[in-house]
Structure 1
Amino acid sequence: MKVAVIGGGAAGFFSALSAKKHHPDAEVVLFEKSKKFLAKVKISGGGRCNVTHHCFDNKKLAEHYPRGKNQLKKAFSQFAVQDTLDWFGARGVETYTLPDNCIFPKSDSSQTIIDTFMNEALQLGVVLKPSCGVRQLEPLEDGTFKLTLDEGEKIFNKVIVTTGGSPKMSGLTWLQDLGLEIETPVPSLFTFNMPNNPIRELMGCVVEETIVKVEGTKLVGDGPLLVTHWGMSGPAVLKLSAWGARILADKDYKFAILVNWLNNPSEEQVRAQIKKAIQEAGNKRLNKFNPFPITNRIWNFLCEKIGFSEETKWVDLSKKSINRLFTVLTQDRYEVSGKTTFKEEFVTCGGVALTEVNFKTMASKRFPNLYFAGEVLDIDGITGGFNFQAAWTTGFIAGKLN
């Protein structure tokens, strides 16, 4: 049996290793159009590679995927987080878990993961073909496939497509030409640009717990918020960008957000906090007494934003001033105009429609010997190791070639 895996990223490598493990006698060839395999793995997690997420309840794990959660819930029964840790552990890769439940190799180097894959491919006998793109995929009448490669034409019994997320529809037309339904790709996991907004002067400031909403929608993200030199980032913003990928694309990335700096949706509780601060601070000036879990730089910025001077004292706050303070703490409004890729990674929403695939096998419903894994599918997770877990899971299942 001859097996072609198209795309040498995370899902592609795991698919190839799985195929060779499940079918030792098969010839498994991994094609990658660029010179280097696993390029995205190399830069992921700031070069540390967030291999998965500390979540062992498959139902809860699936909730972290804006697209594909129902399908992945079933797929995780075949290969989930513990299986990932066992797989790497069996190959000498030790891991550790951060307080935010992200799991990294103890070496803190993505090269550890790359070396593990390369060594495994060498031991199993996977044929690696870098700098070899696939120009065309043609199904033949006998169920095999003809691949038109940079180096000529070859016939394969089974093909696994793992070409990753494509930022443009043009990158998916070769699959569309097969008659497969393709969901239009749009970016997911991006940060928000706020041109000329003075908050950008606070770059580097982090508030650990916030709630961020997109005005006029039901989109909500929570968690840490980071002020950057172009606007805002951090998990709260990245979650919003993932869950709202299509909605924000439709808005051409021009919208407003409301930031709750206190991560507290209760008006009664926030007003009680303000009242308590007035009692405790007395004659102290606002800029000298910050009772909230936000940095002093952000606190002073917010006070200035709503017109309080450096001389304003807590005890002198009027009812109107208290209302302004409540609003800026819980519904601080910012105009967003544009987006920026998160670090050097890009994740897309869109790809091969999930209705095209049997998630028990990852096989195409139209072509029994064609399989898919990873982000070429209309699957994407929020930041935190979820996209890699989806790659390992779908790659492992596809490699069974059932």
Structure 2
Amino acid sequence: MQHFDIIIIGGGAAGFFTAINAAEMNRGLKIAILERGKEVLSKVKISGGGRCNVTHAEFVPKELSANYPRGEKELLGPFHSFMTGDTMEWFEKRGIKLKIEEDGRIFPVSDSSESIITCFLSEIQRLQIDVLKNHSVQEIQKAGETWDIKTNKGDFSAEKIMLATGSNPKMWKLLAKLGHSIVPAVPSLFTFNIKDERIKGLAGIATEAYVRVKLTSKEDKLESKGPLLITHWGMSGPAILKLSAWGARELYAEDYKFQIKVNWLPEISSEEIKEELKKLKLKEAKKQVAKYSRFGLPKRLWQSLVEASGISSETTWAEVNKSQLEALINQLCDAEFEVNGKSTFKEEFVTAGGVDLKEVNFKTFESKLHKNLYLAGEVLNIDAITGGFNFQNAWTGGFLAAKAMSAN
């Protein structure tokens, strides 16, 4: 049986960050990472389309924690100890230059996740941390003051262990055996499948929109505002992804069959739109309604909404009758779409679910049930909207756990 001071199960973002920081804080520690796969940091590699969205430019703890549908309250304290600015400083100290993009997402200047992976691997080497790949954990047991870990490639023991295994059902089962409550996992961060003539052939068009979900089971409003992207299979973009995260459990309960209402002009009231359309009837009387886009809408989307209002491509503004005008206002401000299913957002599969947050001490990320058992990242019932927030949760949890684990 091999013995270590600290064993980290899971070779992803949270696991590596914990190991590196713990080794740096206490150079005398013998640390190992056990990874079940043949590769480490696979999610880091594909995140942000291969660019690695390291974190998000939100520098106020309360504002940052508001991006977590599950974990908002619990992460507020930890973010006062380690958050965005600390993450940026950590990477920049290690030679990784970062940049903030217009939407607030933070990436390496290299635009390549390989920069982050290379940084982690060189730190691991420098600090002499063992990385044991193809080690699938089969059992975890408390043996007096130490933990025994059984893998497919031999047995290990350690004073302190950390589980940073993401959304791995097998590891949740092992934690349940140790007495932890596991909130069942459901998908979060997904796009909506919609078949509708109004958006057919418009893939690639993006515009600002306000979207709300019509749910029978939820009294609170499930709503979101932001860029909406029309895709070949329906709708995506931040406005949709936010809804999928905040409504993860409700949408799962509806079997992903529900209605949404889309306001394509969220900055203008329906009354203002009505007045503007009336003016157009007078001012642009001889012009065809469909020919020129109004209100800054993408041209093809405008044409599609005009057609859906029963206005032909030849119809002039003078010819538009009252019911067509009402129909157009409705299409612009309150268009209803049937959602029938979901698609995973890129390769970044995120789930809502995991270890019940009531069972974790968020000052240290230690289990309240077992001394010297730590948990970080998506193994916990914490998830965020898209934009680098899930990684920030991993860095914060990893750093605070490392601080606690490295103390004698």
Aligned partner of 2:166 in structure 1 is: 164
Distance in 1 (alpha carbons) for counterparts of 2:76 and 2:277: 44
Letter of the aligned partner of 2:201 in structure 1?
E
1:319 aligns to 2:322 (yes or no): yes
Could you tell me how far apart the structure 2 residues matched to 1:293 and 1:67 are? 36
Q: Contact 1:160/1:372 (CA < 8 Å) preserved in 2?
A: yes
Q: Secondary structure at the match of 2:272?
A: helix
| Matched positions, count | 398
Q: Which residue of 1 aligns with 2:154?
A: 152
Q: 1:296 to 1:196 in 2, by over 3 A?
A: closer
| TM-score, normalising length: structure 2 | 0.94
Equivalence for 2:392: 389
Which residue identity lines up with residue 185 of structure 1 in the other structure?
Answer: A
Look up the match of 1:356: 359
- Using the TM superposition, give the Cα deviation of residue 322 of structure 1 relative to its aligned residue in structure 2, in angstroms: 1.9
Q: Distance in 2 between matches of 1:171 and 1:312?
A: 63
Aligned to 1:173: 173
Shift of 1:2: 1.1
1:353–1:241 distance in 2 versus 1, CA, 3 Å: same
Amino acid at match of 1:39: S
Tell me, in whole angstroms, the C-alpha distance in 1 between the residues paired with 2:387 and 2:92: 20
For the residues of structure 1 that align with 2:93 and 2:64, how far apart are their CA atoms? 23
Trace 1:163-312 onto structure 2 (pairs within 5 A).
163-166=165-168, 169=169, 172-195=172-195, 197=197, 199-207=199-207, 209-216=208-215, 217=218, 218-264=221-267, 266-312=269-315
Cα distance per residue 1:265-284 (max 9 Å; x no partner): 73333323433443443321
Candidates 117, 121, 126, aligned match of 1:118: 121
Other-structure match for 1:61: 64
In 2, Cα distance between the equivalents of 1:276 and 1:59? 45
Equivalent of residue 77 in structure 1, options 61, 77, 80? 80
Instruction: Kindly indicate whether the alpha-carbon contact (under 8 Å) linking 1:62 and 1:70 is maintained by their aligned counterparts in 2.
Output: yes
1:97 and 2:96 matched: no
* Aligned equivalent of 1:344: 347
1:262–1:293: 8 Å Cα contact kept in structure 2?
A: no
CA distance in 1 between partners of 2:293 and 2:280 (Å): 8
The answer to whether the 8 Å contact 2:139/2:149 transfers is: yes
1:108 maps to 2:122: no
Deviation at 1:308, TM superposition (A): 0.8
Deviation string 1:367-387 (CA, Å, 9 cap, x unpaired) is 010000101100011001111
Q: How far 1:53 sits from its partner (Å)?
A: 0.5
Deviation (angstroms), 1:131: 1.1
Q: Which amino acid aligns with 1:200?
A: K
What's the counterpart of residue 383 of structure 2? 380
* SS of residue in 2 equivalent to 1:286: coil
What is the rounded CA distance, in whole Å, between the counterparts of 2:86 and 2:257 in structure 1? 41
For 1:23 and 1:8, locate their aligned partners in 2 and report how far apart those are by CA, in whole Å: 20
2:303 counterpart letter in structure 1:
N
CA 1:52–1:334: 2 relative to 1, 3 Å: same
Specify the code of the residue in structure 2 equivalent to 1:27: K
Distance 1:183 1:225 in 2: 30
Question: Cα gap change, 1:133/1:276 in structure 2, threshold over 3 Å: closer, same or farther?
Answer: farther
The amino acid across from 1:230 in the alignment is W
CA spacing shift, 1:279–1:128, aligned 2, 3 Å: farther
Deviation at 1:401, TM superposition (A): 2.6
Superimposed CA distance per residue, residues 244-294 of structure 1 (whole angstroms, 9 cap, x where no aligned partner): 000000000000111111123733333234334434433211111211222
CA distance in 2, matches of 1:377, 1:278: 57
TM superposition shift of 1:345: 0.9
- Aligned 8 A contact 2:311 2:320 in 1: no
CA distance in structure 2 between the aligned counterparts of 1:294 and 1:182, rounded to whole angstroms = 45
AA aligned to 1:162 is A
Q: 1:264–1:270: 8 Å Cα contact kept in structure 2? A: no
8 Å CA contact 1:277–1:291 kept in 2: the answer is: no
- One-letter amino acid matched to 2:172: L
What is the deviation of 1:327?
Answer: 0.8
Q: Could you say if the C-alpha distance between residues 113 and 277 of structure 1 is closer, same or farther in structure 2, counting changes exceeding 3 Å?
A: farther
Amino acid at match of 2:19: A
TM-fit CA distance, 1:126:
1.1
Q: d(CA) in 1 for partners of 2:311 and 2:105? A: 40
Q: Using the TM superposition, give the Cα deviation of residue 222 of structure 1 relative to its aligned residue in structure 2, in angstroms.
A: 1.4
After superposition, the Cα gap between the structure-2 partners of 1:359 and 1:280, relative to the gap in structure 1 and judged at 3 Å, is farther
Instruction: Call closer, same or farther: CA 1:212–1:46 in 2, change over 3 Å.
Output: same
- Counterpart in 2 of 1:15? 18
Change (3 A) 1:309 1:384: same
Task: Give the share of equivalent positions with the same residue, in percent.
Answer: 46
- CA positional deviation for 1:399: 1.0
Counterparts of 1:351 and 1:394, CA distance in 2: 15
Q: In 2, Cα distance between the equivalents of 1:159 and 1:334?
A: 48
Q: Is the 8 A contact 2:310 2:324 kept in 1?
A: no
The aligned amino acid for 1:179 is G
Moved more, 130-139 or 101-110: 130-139
2:41–2:117 Cα contact (<8 Å) kept: yes
Of 131, 140, 160, the match for 2:134: 131
- The offset of 1:89, in angstroms, is 0.6
Q: CA deviation at 1:344?
A: 0.8
Mapping of residues 42-53 of structure 1, within 5 Å = 42-53=45-56
